[in-house]
Protein backbone atom coordinates (compact mmCIF):
# COMPACT_ATOMS: atom_id res chain seq x y z
CA UNK A 1 0.00 0.00 0.00
CA UNK A 2 1.11 3.56 -0.60
CA UNK A 3 2.72 5.90 1.85
CA UNK A 4 -0.34 8.07 1.18
CA UNK A 5 -2.25 6.08 3.75
CA UNK A 6 -1.74 7.84 7.03
CA UNK A 7 -0.77 5.51 9.85
CA UNK A 8 -3.60 6.80 12.02
CA UNK A 9 -6.15 5.95 9.32
CA UNK A 10 -4.72 2.57 8.29
CA UNK A 11 -6.81 0.68 10.86
CA UNK A 12 -9.95 2.52 9.77
CA UNK A 13 -9.10 1.80 6.13
CA UNK A 14 -8.52 -1.91 6.81
CA UNK A 15 -11.68 -2.26 8.89
CA UNK A 16 -13.82 -0.44 6.33
CA UNK A 17 -12.35 -2.59 3.55
CA UNK A 18 -13.29 -5.72 5.47
CA UNK A 19 -16.77 -4.31 6.13
CA UNK A 20 -17.33 -3.77 2.39
CA UNK A 21 -16.17 -7.30 1.62
CA UNK A 22 -18.39 -8.94 4.23
CA UNK A 23 -21.48 -6.76 4.04
CA UNK A 24 -21.72 -6.02 0.33
CA UNK A 25 -19.73 -8.96 -1.06
CA UNK A 26 -17.21 -6.68 -2.74
CA UNK A 27 -14.06 -8.38 -4.03
CA UNK A 28 -10.94 -7.49 -2.01
CA UNK A 29 -9.37 -5.01 -4.45
CA UNK A 30 -12.71 -3.36 -5.21
CA UNK A 31 -13.22 -2.99 -1.45
CA UNK A 32 -9.84 -1.31 -1.13
CA UNK A 33 -10.56 1.08 -3.99
CA UNK A 34 -13.99 1.98 -2.60
CA UNK A 35 -12.65 2.43 0.94
CA UNK A 36 -9.76 4.54 -0.30
CA UNK A 37 -12.09 6.74 -2.31
CA UNK A 38 -14.48 7.21 0.62
CA UNK A 39 -11.62 8.14 2.96
CA UNK A 40 -9.45 10.21 0.63
CA UNK A 41 -11.63 11.37 -2.24
CA UNK A 42 -11.82 14.88 -3.57
CA UNK A 43 -13.68 16.44 -6.47
CA UNK A 44 -10.77 15.85 -8.83
CA UNK A 45 -10.71 12.09 -8.36
CA UNK A 46 -7.95 9.59 -9.06
CA UNK A 47 -6.43 8.37 -12.30
CA UNK A 48 -5.79 4.74 -13.17
CA UNK A 49 -2.09 5.46 -12.68
CA UNK A 50 -2.76 6.88 -9.21
CA UNK A 51 -4.45 3.62 -8.23
CA UNK A 52 -1.61 1.54 -9.71
CA UNK A 53 0.85 3.44 -7.54
CA UNK A 54 -1.34 3.30 -4.44
CA UNK A 55 -2.29 -0.39 -4.55
CA UNK A 56 0.72 -1.92 -6.34
CA UNK A 57 -1.41 -4.40 -8.33
CA UNK A 58 -1.49 -5.51 -11.94
CA UNK A 59 -3.22 -3.39 -14.55
CA UNK A 60 -5.59 -6.25 -15.29
CA UNK A 61 -6.68 -6.66 -11.65
CA UNK A 62 -7.12 -2.93 -11.24
CA UNK A 63 -9.08 -2.61 -14.48
CA UNK A 64 -11.38 -5.47 -13.47
CA UNK A 65 -12.09 -3.93 -10.06
CA UNK A 66 -12.67 -0.44 -11.45
CA UNK A 67 -15.03 -1.79 -14.11
CA UNK A 68 -16.89 -3.77 -11.44
CA UNK A 69 -17.35 -0.65 -9.28
CA UNK A 70 -18.44 1.31 -12.38
CA UNK A 71 -21.01 -1.37 -13.23
CA UNK A 72 -22.49 -1.05 -9.72
CA UNK A 73 -22.55 2.76 -10.03
CA UNK A 74 -20.39 3.05 -6.92
CA UNK A 75 -17.91 5.20 -8.81
CA UNK A 76 -17.98 7.31 -11.95
CA UNK A 77 -15.41 8.84 -14.22
CA UNK A 78 -14.95 12.01 -16.19
CA UNK A 79 -12.38 13.49 -18.55
CA UNK A 80 -10.68 16.83 -18.08
CA UNK A 81 -10.72 19.08 -21.14
CA UNK A 82 -6.93 19.11 -21.41
CA UNK A 83 -6.37 15.41 -20.66
CA UNK A 84 -7.17 12.04 -22.20
CA UNK A 85 -7.03 10.36 -18.80
CA UNK A 86 -10.11 9.21 -16.96
CA UNK A 87 -10.53 10.52 -13.43
CA UNK A 88 -12.45 8.25 -11.07
CA UNK A 89 -14.48 9.56 -8.16
CA UNK A 90 -17.33 8.40 -5.95
CA UNK A 91 -20.73 8.43 -7.54
CA UNK A 92 -22.82 11.00 -5.67
CA UNK A 93 -25.59 8.40 -5.41
CA UNK A 94 -23.51 5.77 -3.65
CA UNK A 95 -25.06 6.55 -0.24
CA UNK A 96 -28.70 6.53 -1.42
CA UNK A 97 -27.91 3.33 -3.36
CA UNK A 98 -26.56 1.70 -0.18
CA UNK A 99 -29.68 2.76 1.71
CA UNK A 100 -31.93 1.42 -1.04
CA UNK A 101 -30.02 -1.88 -0.88
CA UNK A 102 -30.66 -2.04 2.88
CA UNK A 103 -34.28 -0.97 2.41
CA UNK A 104 -34.78 -3.82 -0.06
CA UNK A 105 -33.32 -6.34 2.40
CA UNK A 106 -35.54 -5.10 5.25
CA UNK A 107 -38.63 -5.02 3.03
CA UNK A 108 -38.09 -8.59 1.83
CA UNK A 109 -37.36 -9.80 5.38
CA UNK A 110 -40.56 -8.13 6.62
CA UNK A 111 -42.60 -9.70 3.83
CA UNK A 112 -41.26 -13.19 4.50
CA UNK A 113 -41.64 -12.80 8.26
CA UNK A 114 -45.31 -11.87 7.87
CA UNK A 115 -45.98 -14.60 5.30
CA UNK A 116 -44.34 -17.30 7.43
CA UNK A 117 -46.21 -16.13 10.54
CA UNK A 118 -49.52 -16.17 8.64
CA UNK A 119 -48.74 -19.63 7.27
CA UNK A 120 -47.99 -21.01 10.73
CA UNK A 121 -51.17 -19.47 12.17
CA UNK A 122 -53.31 -20.75 9.30
CA UNK A 123 -51.92 -24.27 9.64
CA UNK A 124 -51.96 -24.20 13.44
CA UNK A 125 -48.24 -24.83 13.67
CA UNK A 126 -46.57 -24.06 16.98
CA UNK A 127 -44.70 -20.79 16.88
CA UNK A 128 -42.85 -20.16 20.13
CA UNK A 129 -41.52 -16.83 18.88
CA UNK A 130 -45.08 -15.60 18.29
CA UNK A 131 -46.31 -16.96 21.62
CA UNK A 132 -43.53 -15.18 23.49
CA UNK A 133 -44.07 -11.90 21.62
CA UNK A 134 -40.60 -11.95 20.11
CA UNK A 135 -41.92 -12.10 16.56
CA UNK A 136 -44.10 -9.04 17.20
CA UNK A 137 -41.09 -7.08 18.45
CA UNK A 138 -39.03 -8.20 15.44
CA UNK A 139 -41.82 -7.32 13.00
CA UNK A 140 -42.20 -3.88 14.61
CA UNK A 141 -38.43 -3.35 14.29
CA UNK A 142 -38.53 -4.24 10.58
CA UNK A 143 -41.51 -1.94 9.97
CA UNK A 144 -39.78 0.97 11.75
CA UNK A 145 -36.51 0.31 9.92
CA UNK A 146 -38.28 0.18 6.56
CA UNK A 147 -40.02 3.49 7.25
CA UNK A 148 -36.85 5.21 8.52
CA UNK A 149 -34.78 4.01 5.56
CA UNK A 150 -37.38 5.28 3.10
CA UNK A 151 -37.57 8.69 4.83
CA UNK A 152 -33.76 8.96 4.87
CA UNK A 153 -33.51 8.11 1.16
CA UNK A 154 -36.08 10.79 0.35
CA UNK A 155 -34.23 13.39 2.48
CA UNK A 156 -30.87 12.65 0.84
CA UNK A 157 -32.32 12.78 -2.65
CA UNK A 158 -34.03 16.07 -1.80
CA UNK A 159 -30.73 17.55 -0.62
CA UNK A 160 -29.05 16.33 -3.78
CA UNK A 161 -31.71 18.00 -5.94
CA UNK A 162 -31.32 21.28 -4.04
CA UNK A 163 -27.55 21.21 -4.57
CA UNK A 164 -27.64 20.64 -8.32
CA gap 139, 109 in Å, rounded: 9
Task: Classify residue 126 by burial, with Cβ atoms within 10 Å: 0-12, 13-18, 19+.
Answer: exposed
Mean residue pLDDT of the chain comes to: 89
pLDDT tens-digit series, residues 18-53: 999 999 999 999 999 999 999 998 778 999 999 999
- CATH of region 7-90: 1.10.10.10
Task: State the pTM of this model.
Answer: 0.76
CA gap 133, 131 in Å, rounded: 6
Pairing type for strands 86-90 and 75-79 reads: antiparallel
CB contact at 8 A, 70 and 76: yes
Amino acid sequence: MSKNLCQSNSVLFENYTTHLEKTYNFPPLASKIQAYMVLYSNNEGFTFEDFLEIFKVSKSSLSTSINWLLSLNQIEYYHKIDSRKRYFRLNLNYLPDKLEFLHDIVTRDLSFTKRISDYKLKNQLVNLLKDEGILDVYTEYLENSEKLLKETIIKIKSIQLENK
